[in-house]
Structure 1
């Protein structure tokens, strides 16, 4: 299925792109992407937390005809991700992102094509799995654009 292949390719591109962040200096890694925003480290840590949520609390339940586990409090989850990212090294965060995102890609590949356009009930709205993953990728891309802009601004 073309849509699924496209989503998988985009996720694989994010893995390669984050691997390239090994080249940024530790100073750049710990700089806010914009005034009052997270550091690059915190952005990557935030993405790890949400990938784990999708892997553990969404994908196993999407097609089970049961109530999905509640979403965590976004502010609390983001704060925890931020705090954890501050104490981990760049290498640890990149390795963790790559490992978690690779597991997510593998899980996506295992979803039968016939489920790809199935309707899912999230909160009070119905969306397809394609829409769900497209929304997650849009979220990631906004963060990656912030990182790119910050690195351009600081000469990388």
Structure 2
């Protein structure tokens, strides 16, 4: 289990470094949609923060006790708010906001007692371990990272 904890922490540290590297993107690439009817890099990076904060404030504190988990916000609404905010916020500000929220998540994760990682909890009708839940969040990060890397690689191939 310790290897899994370390892998999840390493994942978040690597995401912070990778997002920092996005400061080097030209603004037109940062704000350009990845594809037709898709978000821009700015919008993708912006949407991570509110979800990180939700996990820190409304998931981690409730795990390990008998209280039901608080209801998640409406994903469509939260993502649209993040998207809208990203379109009118400077690149460096969006990136720093991601770094700040991800550092809060890292702090929250690092404070989890090792014995709690295998603990099962119910999320809707699904039973998950804390470890599997956090792996799912990392998978979500990697999905979006892959989208961004593919789009920037396509753009660079056209130059």
Q: Superposed, which structure 2 residues align to 1:1-156 within 5 Å?
A: 1-155=2-156
C-alpha separation between the residues in 1 aligned to 2:99 and 2:18? 10
Question: What 5-or-longer segments of structure 2 have no aligned partner?
Answer: none
Q: Deviations over 1:48-72 (max 9, x none)?
A: 1111111111111112210111111
Distance across 2 between alignment mates of 1:70 and 1:4: 26
Distance 2:14 2:128 in 1: 24
Aligned-partner SS, 2:61 = coil
Larger RCO (CA within 8 A; separation ≥ 6) = 1
TM-score, normalising length from structure 2? 0.95
- The SS at the match of 2:34 is coil
Contact 1:26 1:90 in 2 (8 A): yes
Post-superposition Cα deviations, 1:58-100, rounded to whole Å, max 9, x if no partner, equal: 1111122101111111111111111111111100010010011
Extract unaligned runs of 5+ from structure 1: none
Q: CA RMSD in A?
A: 1.0
Number of matched pairs? 156
The answer to whether the 8 Å contact 1:85/1:93 transfers is yes
Native 8 Å contact 1:34 1:146 kept in 2: no
| CA contact 1:51–1:100 (8 Å) conserved in 2 | yes
Q: Distance in 2 between matches of 1:34 and 1:118?
A: 40
Structure 1 consecutive aligned stretches of length 4 or more whose deviation exceeds 3 Å: none
